[in-house]
Structure formats: C-alpha cells, structure tokens
Chain A
C-alpha cells in the first residue's frame, strides 16, 4: 500500500488493532466466499457485497456498548458479522437454508438478531431510517442511555423520509446516530450526478443536527468519530450524523455491469486506500505483529469462512411447512 498520511500515533492498543484486522478480514473473506457461492448458483436473488467498506462497521462497533442497537440497508452482511452474529447463520441464510438466521425465509437482505440488537436488513432504500429513529425512540421512552446506529447510503440520503426523520429525531432529541456510508455511488449513479451537495452531513444543519465527515478507509478515524457521536447521544443531546466516506470495490449487486466507473478508479482505491492494508501496515511498522502472526490470523479466518460455507451448503432447505409459519403470531414478540 502506498504511504498514507497518519498525522498522529494511533490511540489504540496492539490487541485492539489486531482485533480490527481480524474483524475486517473476516468480512472481506466472507464476502469473497459469498460471491463465489453466488457464482455457483448456491446463493440466489440479490446479493450486495460489502468489500471495501469494512472499516466503517468495524470502527463504529468499537464505539458501542451492550444494549446499543443497529439497523441497516440491504448491504448488511458486514454489519451482522461486525456485531458478533454467527457467520454460519448468516451464510446459511444467504443460501436459503434452515440454519440461516431467518430459517431461509429472509435471504441476504433480511436478517435479524434480537440477541445482538440487529434490526435488519431492509430492502427499501431509505425505509430503515425512520425505523432506526423509532428504535431510538423506544430507548428514550424507557429512559436508558442506549444508542441506535442507523446506517444508510449516499443514495438513500436523497429519500424524503430521511428528512422527515431528521426533523423528528432533532425535535424529540432521539439518541440516534445517522451513519451515511458514502461509497460514492447510488447503484450506478455517482454522487456528483445524484446529490446537490458534496458533503451530505451538512444537510443535518438545517435541522440542528451536528455532523461530520470521516475517512471511512481508516478504521481508527471511524472509531474516534463513533465515540464522539456516541458521547453526544448518550448525554441526551439528540441525534448525530456521521458521513463516512468509503468505497465499494465490487458492483452494487452481483449483476452490475461496472460501466459507470473505470477499472483504474477501483484499482487506485484498492492500492492506495485499502482499510485492511492500512491496519496491516500499522501492525507491522509498530512491530505489534509479525508476518507469521498475520498469516496465522489469515488462516484462522479462512477456516471460519470455509466452515460457514460448508454449513451453508450442508444445512437443509427449510421444511415445506415453513411456508405457512411466522405470518402472524399469538406470542408477544421478545423485542428490544
């Protein structure tokens, strides 16, 4: 990787740095495997890979505490892995099998874990933004200091309901962090061609919501910004916006013609800005890890991912009776 300007010494322990490396690598290898299984016909439908954006969720998860909630869009595999959901359950949901988080009934875009306070996985662009504010509303109503991370993209940032939500979140001082994962392309439309302002976070100013831009390819910068936003929300000061500038290496979904940007642009990002390489470099240059240490982590991650793929292939399809279950329930849901 080319030299990156890191102005200050990372405020992070060697162990934490290694953990970031491991967590980001897990997402990348998992997604590569998912792409492979898609190509083999084992995963169907829509499948949106998170490759390139790993530092966003890993950095922000480092700023959370137990009880905090998260909700996101359809590009959700990374968020699930980062908040500690089981790779086997995620991969088996991608293959539509009984062992998946939704027993095969949700798919890539619709998984949930009340244990890990992960509230989906939503396929309608922008719709998860009021849902996240509603989760934050429930915490404020109950009087605890939990925070909800509501992730959405630069594309979703143009939906009307986002601004309806900004207004109410500010009005009611909801403890919600709006994380705009700006990967620069709304499907195939670049930010320049879709969005009137270059810095989306400034749009919160109209509602009195503070916001800032963050280098989404630097996991340490993301964590630091996350901690600041979390402190703001926990102190009862209302919502906060983080516009995390990131980049997706793969297509919007698996069926992406890749005609809207150049190969050189993608290659340049990979070579100069890659978030995993960045941490790798920090580990090596700080002598926190040897080549062998990192190889051992690579091997361990590869094994976790391969196991998840095996699990996802071996898990049976859901029983046909599942067609008719979970439509309505008689039992009060164990939400929150």
Chain B
C-alpha cells in the first residue's frame, strides 16, 4: 500500500540563532558590546529570566543580574585586581586578567576572565555551573541548547516532540530523557499530556496543521503538553517504550473515525496486515526491572566507622552522599529509594539487608569511606560479595527440596537460607560493580585494583544485586578534605547515578532493532 508520510523532528534552532547573532556582531565590528539573549533559571521557588549577552564572541551574563537572582554581593577589589563575589560565608575571587576563579581556595578554570562593559561586569556563562554551584552549595545544571539553568535537583526531563502524518492518523513521538511517568487526559478538543516532573525542557516541531492535530503547545502547567485536536479526531492510543539509551519514547496515535491503529491490528487475522513485522503496541512497553533502590549509609550511632586525621567521620560522609544520591535518583529517574538510615543511628548489619529484602529492592548499594594503615592509599573502589570466603558456601549452597503441592504430587523448590540470599545474585552484583568501577574511573581517582570480591558481611543477606562502594580514603589527608566537599560528593553521586542508569540498561530487556525499525520505517 502506497502511503504518504512526512516526518518532522525539528529542534528549536537556538544554536543557529546564536551563530547568526555572533556573525552579525562580528560584521558590525562591535567587539565589546552586549547583545541580549536570555537564559531561564529554574529553581524550586519558580523560574526567572536571566539576560545573557555575546561579549567578545563569548556568551556571558552580567554579574549584577546574577547578584539579584542568586542574592550575591559583588565588589571590585583593587588590591587583588579583580572582583570578589560573596554568598553568605563563601567568597569567590575573580582576577580581572586570568580565566579562573578561586572558590574557598579551590581554583576553577573559566573560558575567559571577567569583562567590563559599559553596562557593568560580565562573566562567562560557565561561571554558573562551574563556580556558582560551589558557592551556593547546590548543583546547577546548564543546558546549552535550551538555555535552561536548573538549580537544585529539579526534575526537568528533555522532551523532543516529533510526528508522522498519513493514512488517517497522526503518530506523535515524545522522546523523554530521563524517563518520567505521565498521564494523558482527553476532552473534546485537546489531549493533555501530564508528565510527573517539575518542568519540561521542551523541543516542539514546527507548526503542524492537520485535520487530526492542529498544533502542539505547552500546557498551562510547566510539566504539561497540550495537543490541540482537529475536526476529524475520533480516538487515540498510546504506548511507552524504554530504550537502551536511557530515553523513553511515548507514542500517541491520534486516529480519525473508522481507522484502527494498524500496528495494534497487525496480528488480527480478520484484518489484513499492513506491516507484517510490526508487533502490537503493547509489546513495545518494557517492564521496569529496577524500581526500588536501597541505599545503605554505613555505620552510624556509636559506630563512627573510620575517622580521618582531621576527625572526619565515615558515618557522616556516607550519610551525606547517600542523601544526595537519593535526591538525584528520585528526582531524575523517578525510582523509589529506601534508606537503611536517615539519621545518625546504629543499624545492625542484618537489619540493613532485611530492610532491602522487605522492600523488595532491586538494587542494594552500601556506601562507606575507606581507611588504610598508612596515609598513602587513595581512591574510590567498589566490592561485591565473595562467596567462598566468609560465607563458607558456594553457588551450590542452595538446597533443593521436594514439597507436596495441592492436588497431590511433589514439586522441587530451591531453598536458600535467607542469610545466603546473595548467592543467586552474584553475577549481577559483579556486573554492577564493574559498571560502578568504570563510571568512577571517568570522574574521580580510583584505587589501582579493579572491583573485587570480598567477604563483606552486610551484603550476604541481600536478596538482590548488591555492592559496597568505598567513596575514598579518610586515612589520606587530601581525600579526607575532598570527601567533605559538596562538589566532590556531587561528583561521586553523578558517577553512581550514571552507574544505576547503565545497570538498568543492562538488566532491562532491550527492544530489538528490528522492532524499532518496524515501527519507524516503511516496509
């Protein structure tokens, strides 16, 4: 069957606009003049517009504007030949002639020094995420393409919208990164797609006027999308597909009267199939395997764990990183996180595994800080359980028993002692440990030895993939200081977050390329 099909997947041409603006500025030979653009600063309290400018061929923001948005105080320091930016007790020194900033003694590089224009001092926009986040002790994510500046752990998934038209239907494609739960509500003239998020980083296609869908626009709430329906609209169907890249694809088929979704009807014998290879839409939905993650901050209460030379306690570092990781997972992945402790209290090792088992967790991550007997060892590390050491068992440690079943007969069941529950998950634990090891190596110093098996007591009873992550060495004076800094903790959290994303990709059933092609392409 010959079918007409158009495909439009167009992002907002922001980069093009930036390039054009830069070209125009160069052509007019005004090197130090500011050409306004805007960034959108999203915070828990709302969002504000922040003017950006092209100064000396570089995108910059006015320090005065930053001061008003973030509550900073800015002063020129003639002695230091630069600027000081203060926020509460934190002070940033910006030398006027060097492309760096000093944040509490820590040097951060910037693409250029601050620039004085007729309207005041400007700093590169990289100042936002590289420096300001350290100063206000909150993560700041800057999205170049959309101009969003996200302050804190707000859930702002990227949503790229595309569509195909033809044969009495419009198929809308929403690529959501990271995946976010959604609902679709319908009235006579609209479909309202509500994402469970704080806002959307939205890329809409060019105007698509059709008798089924007249337009797509932002909804009345920041995390909503409105699909304006045309006169021929009759019904819609939707399906969700999780891909191996950590992006979910929401498919919404808008149908006219009398038209069935040919993909869902593929396997119906009475109706000749248009696309013999396409499976039903429902098969595109990948069951989420990792739904609940247990984070286990080591030690607590009277058990301080290791103590650094300056007195930093392992139990505190472990809890701080666990809390940061919890916020990141919940806000950006939408997964359930259970903590074995939320405060400074003693939790027995058996109880930690029991919390994970009782919550039917899919992943168990125990967080610790290491210590050595000499100050030299440094670096993070990850371990999983070695069965042949402390447990004194092996993969064959389970016991097959026959039990009577209803209606007569016997059935073999595999009886595994609860405290040996980790046995059946060792392979996945080792795989996750390898993922964590690889991610850590891209972001922080890691011990020379790769992820290793060890007789770790807390992991034995965990009935799910489980690892113990050592965040660094408290016995190393340099690492002791790093482990207390918000920026280093955020880096560790980012590595662990990416590890979890990678683990999900590995364990969840990927959609085969053939299935994807069958949907997107003509046979």
A interacts with B:
no
Which residues does B use to contact A, with CB under 8 Å? none
